[in-house]
Amino acid sequence: MTDRKQKLIALGADALADALLDLAVHSDEADDLIEQLIATPKENVQRFKKKLSGLKRRKRFISWRESAGFTRELEMLLQDLKSSVDDPLTGVELVAAFYESDNTIFEMCDDSSGNIGDVFRYDAKELFVDYASRCNNKEKIADIILKVNQKNNYGIRDTLIDCAGEYLPEDVIRTMIATLQKWADKEKDERGKRHHLMLIESLARQVKDAKLFEKTRIVSWGKLSTAALIDIARVYLESGDVETAHSWLKKIPEDETYQAYERDKLLEEIYLKQGDSEKLTELLFQKFRSYHSIDTLQTLLDVIGHEKRNEVVTDEMAQILKADRLLESDAEFLISIGKIDEAEEYLLGLANQLNGDLYGSLLSLAEAMESENRHLITSLIYRSLLLSILERGYTKAYPHGIRYMKKLDKLAVTVSDWKKFNSHEVFKEQVKEAHGRKRSFWSKYEVKK
């Protein structure tokens, strides 16, 4: 890159200017770049405003297939702003104007992919934070954010509220909270009131005011759900009040499964901060047993000691092999810890439960078993994958089904003992009897033999 740059510099300004002008004839982006480079800061501000106004005047709807190009256009618009406007307050105002164009932008396009929304969530936010961090007039920035968030039809403008702590001091944020509270108190529309309260929650969390977050959530939601209890506990924990965080989690019934993962993560951190090794160990054992994986095992061993690895693994392996319900994750765990014989025994014992619809996990199991020359169980897994495709009549997946049948043909030669399972020939006859009318499958399979 440096070498090319030096060679370009050596060409001289005239040669580069001519080349850029020639390129601009064939490229709108190059032409736009030239305009940006030669414009004054004031002119570039006007260019940005003109482009933004141009978006609002467009009449043609942008389909999902065209959304990638439109996303790029919006990204370039923000990049132009970043490259041409250095004054922080001006930059803040222009990015705010971009957010205020959200209604127009989302109404003119299909954003099923979410890419256009991400321009607001990431690109525009990053640019706003950069300008706002360099701007000394923090009160003015707060006013701009509040003005932008008076409306939020597409749920995108609160992005600027959620990152306020990155560029505003606490006293300014407290003033914003007071303003939002006044708006909420005066708001007659329930939806509008909840919107203001939601913004207060975000700001309260950023200044680590758990009591305010709790109070606001109760006013906003009334009866607190499991999700609300977890949110309140999380903010108390982030604020350093471990005991109160724990007390809120205790309000959740022990048999509650909704958001159990989030609750247990908070409990894990709470027990760690409390120094309660007994409860922490109990929790981590529970998590490991409910989902066997290398990660849950390592987390447990980090607490109870890695010298207990063999003991823990042996005990859990015995429980897995006693199970009467197949869990692909348990087979994956056994393979990951090098227990191939046990993984094969587990899968063979519950082979009647293999579900070919779970092709993601089953395919990886088949590949792992084949790499260890466990061809019987590999065949049984591929059978379930093939039958899933044929039973659903999923013609688009027939190429995969044909590949599975070819694989079964090759594996059959290496299997000397089919144990209690049908041989390949018998299985194949059964498949033909049940799915022989699926001519598009069999014709392509015969051609590829």
Buried b (16+ CB within 10 A) or exposed e, 383-403: bbbbbbbbeeeeeebbebbbe
Distance of CA 319 to the CA centre of its chain: 33
Q: What is the pLDDT of residue 355?
A: 94
Phi-psi region of 203 (alpha: psi -120 to 50; beta: other; left: phi over 0): alpha
Residue among 75, 71, 84 nearest 33 (CA): 84
Query: So what's the pLDDT on residue 169?
Result: 97
Domain limits, the chain: 354-449
The residue among 36, 136, 122, 126 whose CA lies nearest residue 83 is 36
pLDDT of residue 307: 96
Asked if 424 and 408 touch (Cβ cutoff 8 Å), the reply is yes
- Across the chain, which has 449 residues, the per-10-residue mean pLDDT values are 79 79 74 71 80 85 91 90 91 96 94 94 97 97 97 94 97 98 94 95 98 96 93 97 97 92 95 95 94 95 95 96 95 96 97 92 95 96 95 89 94 94 95 90 78
